[in-house]
Chain A
Amino acid sequence: MNPLTLLAAIGRLVLGGLAALGRLTIFAAQVVSHLFRPPFYLREFGHALAQVGWFSLPVVGMTAVFTGGALALQIYSGGQRFSAEAVVPQIVAIGMVRELGPVLVGLMIAARVTSSIAAEIATMKVTEQIDALVTLSTDPMKYLVTPRVLAGALTVPLLVAVGDVIGILGGFLVSTETLGFNRATYVQRTVDFLEAPDVLSSLVKGAVFGAIATLIGCYYGMRSGRGAQGVGSATKGAVAAASILILAANFVLTSVMFGS
């Protein structure tokens, strides 16, 4: 292949990526600006709280309990190699709270909520419901996007907190029922080991991941192409982009909060 052709292809890719990043940044800035300007659609916000938060509880709970249980087994098994089985409560707690809780909840929200938002808004666009909103003097950014993103940023930290507790509970059940740990000792070690910054980092990550998941869902939905294929592409692209951005944001946040 001609090196210039390769260079041009790379250039196009980089420019396309930067342009997409610019569009997403402008979109996010518009959402932030709408947070502070009336009218506020409280009914839509309440609906978004339920959709993002309440109805995600089962999937978050199931994910967390199995992950916590598996984590306990892995730490016990790995710890045996250097006689460190006793640290299971501490490692399960810190692993769930600092890392697995926020990341897994973020990814579950990307799968459940981002896809749902992208498909719903894309379908509204394809069927001219977005245009209808405009002709009814209603700004779609304010009516559809802002309530969802705000709901994501506020409810996902709560989901993460619930996921953390259930994950630790999963580890507790496996450890006490199959690995022979004493219940009181397990709880005492978990409580003693966790510190406020661990919990705070978990909640901050939850807020950022919630905002990313909902923002990306709305962004892809609003930019959807025509027809069923457009809705499908928007949904697929939204889930992939949200998952990658959540993992990237997790790395950045972990570096900032615990890097030193």
Chain B
Amino acid sequence: MIELQGVHKAFGSNRVLRGVDLSIASGTSMVIIGGSGTGKSVLLKCILGLVQPDSGTIRLDGEDVTKADRDAFLARFGMLFQGGALFDSMRVWENVAFRLLRGPRKRPKAEAREVAIEKLRRVGLGPQVADLFPAELSGGMQKRVGLARAIAAEPEIIFFDEPTTGLDPIMAGVINDLIREIVVEMGVTAMTITHDMSSVRAIADQVAMLHDGLIRWTGPVSEIDATPDPYVQQFIHGRAEGPIAALR
């Protein structure tokens, strides 16, 4: 279980997170929604330790993540970045097998390549893609490779940062379905940040809305349409008028 209590983070005078409290139960898929610039990515990076929170606690299975063994902690995570964040200088299979080619989980090169090709197949890419470089792939293919890399080392927790941004609706649907399938199949805990409502409906078990540095609403995805919360209603219906300022 991932638990956040009173997490604050400011960049200069810009207070991005103002006391976030959130719990994500093991094996559930939590989707964080919220407008652009509301701190969704910062929240995710705080959990991973890529950004240090100013105050508050983040616990993973009851253990404070700042005091946990860093390598062991990160070994439990996989992450799909917004732009893929594939390593330009490496071939696709080397990107996917990155964790398997070095460090404590190192395997023989041929074995790592086999695992990479299997994971590529899992996300719908053929073995002919394995020897290409990321720059030779389309945006949708890069996302799939990023997804294959995120699941390559069989993590317990996977984070998805804006998984459908920049994709056409069909490819976005394909990625959403893949994420849902993988999350269910692997039984992982998933945390996705997005402002794409089709992703929310396809991926989420639970939804939390982040606004103004605080969790404004949280609940099962089945209840999101019925909630009377005006912030959630404005967001999910994409209205320009409401309590959320259109110009931020």
Contact = CB atoms under 8 A, between A and B. Distances in A.
Interface of A: 39, 41, 123-124, 127-129, 131-132, 134-138
Nearest to A41: B102
A55 to B, nearest CB: 14
A138 B81 contact: no
B85 A132 contact: yes
Interface of B: 45, 48-50, 71, 74-75, 77-79, 81-83, 85-88, 98-99, 102-103, 149
A131 B45 contact: yes
Contacts of A39: 102-103
Contacts of A135: 48, 50, 74, 77-79
Contacts of B71: 137
A137 B81 contact: no
Given A131-B85, A134-B48, 19 more contacts: A39-B103, A123-B88, A124-B87, A127-B83, A127-B85, A129-B86, A129-B87, A129-B88, A131-B45, A132-B79, A132-B81, A134-B74, A135-B48, A135-B77, A136-B74, A136-B99, A137-B71, A138-B102, A138-B103
A128 B48 contact: no
A257 B53 CA distance: 49
A137 B103 contact: yes
B189 to A, nearest CB: 15
A39 B103 CA distance: 7
**Residue among B48, B85, B86, B87 with the most chain A CB within 10 A?**
B85
B109 to A, nearest CB: 11
Contacts of A127: 83, 85
A132 B74 CA distance: 11
A111 B48 CA distance: 36
Contacts of B87: 124, 129, 132
12 contacts: A129-B86, A129-B87, A131-B45, A131-B85, A134-B74, A135-B74, A135-B79, A137-B71, A137-B74, A137-B75, A138-B98, A138-B102
A123 B87 CA distance: 11
Contacts of B49: 134
Contacts of A124: 87
A137 B79 CA distance: 12
A137 B101 CA distance: 12
A128 B86 CA distance: 9
A168 B71 CA distance: 52
Contact of B85 (A129, A137, A138): A129
A137 B77 CA distance: 9
A201 B103 CA distance: 40
A138 B87 CA distance: 13
A136 B104 CA distance: 12
Contacts of B78: 135
B98 A128 contact: no
A49 to B, nearest CB: 15
B84 to A, nearest CB: 8
A128 B82 contact: yes
Nearest to A126: B83
Contact of A134 (B50, B83, B86, B103): B50
A136 B78 CA distance: 8
A124 B77 CA distance: 21
A230 to B, nearest CB: 15
Given A39-B102, A136-B99, A131 B81 contact: yes
A134 B45 CA distance: 11
Nearest to B105: A137
A131 B48 CA distance: 10
B50 A131 contact: yes
A129 B149 CA distance: 13
Nearest to B81: A128
Nearest to B146: A132
Contacts of B77: 135
Nearest to B79: A135
A124 B78 CA distance: 19
A129 B142 CA distance: 13
